[in-house]
Structure 1
């Protein structure tokens, strides 16, 4: 599996403990493969890596952003408002074992927390991470429609009369932003289509 190999190669930059690397990979795979994960799953990680690879030359620390991708949704509960904080805490614990220094661990922690508010940052690596995370918004009609169905399944605990107003609020937030995407690369690639997709979904809710 490509993701597993990515994780192993990444960890080998910091430790030679193959048992520990395997243990942490199994945890990632298990969490992202949970039955409740219809969108925030391993495919989401693959998509993010696919996007971030295209701007690798613009990333200051590719190891850090890679760890942030792997751990940013390791905890995902549709009923919780603290997924990012919990995911960041797990990353902190695991990366200490893997041998990253305090500064590196803090950077991953901060990047994961940034995925909560998705606000433009002074740190360009954070902006690239956020844009890769939201890149699904700018995909073609068919892919976007599938994404909306997956998100609805993740929130299936909520009936339509609760889900639809909440979802509309999320979509309105994106539409009110001056730019959905923070970096020039992603703005050029996805901004126009993302707004079209979001407006269409909003109208159909």
Structure 2
């Protein structure tokens, strides 16, 4: 991976990881079962972080969490049993901790930022690791959901990529699961994005996409029933 934004932020973080860390990440985000949860998602988040660094207290720690938050991503176990997002998040944190060389405060902060992705809508800082940590956690979560506000053709492609990652799932089950997720995001209202600055940037477009996607999925469910 040689994308310039990846190089920029990894240069700030490399000394706080072991020598194997980047190779581990590169292999993870190139795994064949991935489509959405791959390097392009990480690049998109880092690019937006770079544009919004004035909102962050520790952009370096947000970047570190960005690199590691989807380091483990499987939609089912080898035995075919579905795998939950919290399981992936937990294992991503464990992989980060194996290769991290941050000081204890930074390590704990990154741990908590990554763990927040287990439940985007309800997550909140349990400890203020440094002044401004809660806001950094909120910014990270907003960056992770910012893809909800992309242009509709890109949004559709993202849905297709997620379907690829769940290609083993029956259509009706997948459509129902996606519909429930879209409804949970819509149910958050203005709280879908946590910061006023990111809300102003992304909320309107995200809500429009979510409503359109929900309608499309309901049509597909009716057609395939």
**Equivalent-residue separation in structure 2 for 1:106 and 1:53 (angstroms):** 23
1:29 is aligned to 26
Instruction: Please show how residues 133-144 of structure 1 align to structure 2 within 5 Å.
Output: 133-144=144-155
Q: Deviations over 1:85-131 (max 9, x none)?
A: 11111112211xx2x11111111110000011013535110111011
2:52 is aligned to 55
CA contact (8 A) 1:120 1:182 kept: no
**Equivalent-residue separation in structure 2 for 1:103 and 1:150 (angstroms):** 36
Shift of residue 203 of structure 1?
A: 0.7
CA contact (8 A) 1:75 1:86 kept: yes
**Equivalent-residue separation in structure 1 for 2:90 and 2:9 (angstroms):** 24
Matched, 1:114 2:99: no
2:156 to 137, 140, 145: 145
Note the residue ranges of structure 2 that are not aligned, 5 or more in a row: 77-82, 126-133, 218-225
1:129 is aligned to 140
Matched, 1:174 2:212: no
**Equivalent-residue separation in structure 1 for 2:54 and 2:8 (angstroms):** 21
Distance 1:168 1:78, change over 3 A: same
**Equivalent-residue separation in structure 2 for 1:27 and 1:92 (angstroms):** 13
**Equivalent-residue separation in structure 2 for 1:47 and 1:135 (angstroms):** 9
**Equivalent-residue separation in structure 2 for 1:117 and 1:173 (angstroms):** 11
Compute the RMSD of aligned alpha carbons: 1.4
1:91 to 86, 90, 96: 96
Matched, 1:8 2:11: yes
Shift of residue 5 of structure 1?
A: 4.8
CA contact (8 A) 1:32 1:41 kept: yes
TM-score, length of structure 2 as denominator length: 0.83
2:69 is aligned to 72
TM-score, length of structure 1 as denominator length: 0.91
Aligned positions, number: 196
2:35 is aligned to 38
Note the residue ranges of structure 1 that are not aligned, 5 or more in a row: none
**Equivalent-residue separation in structure 1 for 2:196 and 2:51 (angstroms):** 13
**Equivalent-residue separation in structure 2 for 1:152 and 1:4 (angstroms):** 30
1:195 is aligned to 207
